[in-house]
């Protein structure tokens, strides 16, 4: 049973309060998140740090999986491949568009294109895999 954008956003806010990612859209086979770049996330030369890009892509993939199969707090990243393509802008949000390629019983695979907001050419591309726990019962969230 899929989760709505609001359900996923509420889960992310409760479980990952330190994340600065905003859930922009959750679709049938994908999701979009945005991330405001702060000064601490820049590297010399005014570019966005690579680990920040990886982290945003990881969240986009997680959000897309939650949207597809429901709130599964124990899903964990098993692998991630990133290719850095262009220098991100220092003063634009990072937008991450995730497209799920497979959501199986135990593994989900998706790709994420990362953009500096306002540009149509990706700054990085990620393929990532999540392991899904055996029992995939959607949990009551938030617990009350």
Question: Does position 30 bind its own copies by CB under 8 A?
Answer: no
Q: Which of 1, 38, 44, 120 binds its own copies (CB under 8 A)?
A: 44
Asked if residue 124 lies in contact with residue 57, where contact means CB atoms within 8 angstroms, the answer is yes
Question: Does position 107 bind its own copies by CB under 8 A?
Answer: yes
Instruction: Return the structure tokens found at 13.
Output: 């806010």
Task: For the CB of residue 117, give the shortest distance to its own copies in the complex, in Å.
Answer: 18
Cβ partners under 8 Å of residue 4, min gap 6: 26, 67
Cβ partners under 8 Å of residue 63, min gap 6: 8, 12, 21, 23, 26, 31, 33, 98
Cβ partners under 8 Å of residue 1, min gap 6: 69, 70, 138
- Report d(CA 92, CA 109) in Å as an integer: 28
Q: Which of 28, 50, 91, 137 binds its own copies (CB under 8 A)?
A: 50
Q: Which of 5, 10, 25, 84 binds its own copies (CB under 8 A)?
A: 84
The piece of 2-10, 30-38, 78-86, 136-144 that touches its own copies (CB under 8 A) is 78-86
List contacts with its own copies (CB under 8 A): 15-16, 18, 40, 43-44, 49-52, 54-55, 58, 73, 76-86, 101-102, 106-107, 109, 111, 122, 125, 127, 129, 131
């Amino acid at each position: 049973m899929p989760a709505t954008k609001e359900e996923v956003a509420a889960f992310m806010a409760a479980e990952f309060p330190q994340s600065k990612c905003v859930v922009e859209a959750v679709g049938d086979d994908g999701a979009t998140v945005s991330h405001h770049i702060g000064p601490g996330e820049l590297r010399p030369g005014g570019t966005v740090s690579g680990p920040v890009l990886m982290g945003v892509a990881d969240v986009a993939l997680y959000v897309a999986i939650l949207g597809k199969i429901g709130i599964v707090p124990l899903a964990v990243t098993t692998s991630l491949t990133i290719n850095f393509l262009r220098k991100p802008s220092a003063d634009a949000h990072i937008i991450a568009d995730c497209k799920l390629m497979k959501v199986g019983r135990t593994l989900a695979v998706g790709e994420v294109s990362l953009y500096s907001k306002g540009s149509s050419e990706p700054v990085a591309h990620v393929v990532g895999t999540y392991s899904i726990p055996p029992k995939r019962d959607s949990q009551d969230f938030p617990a009350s």
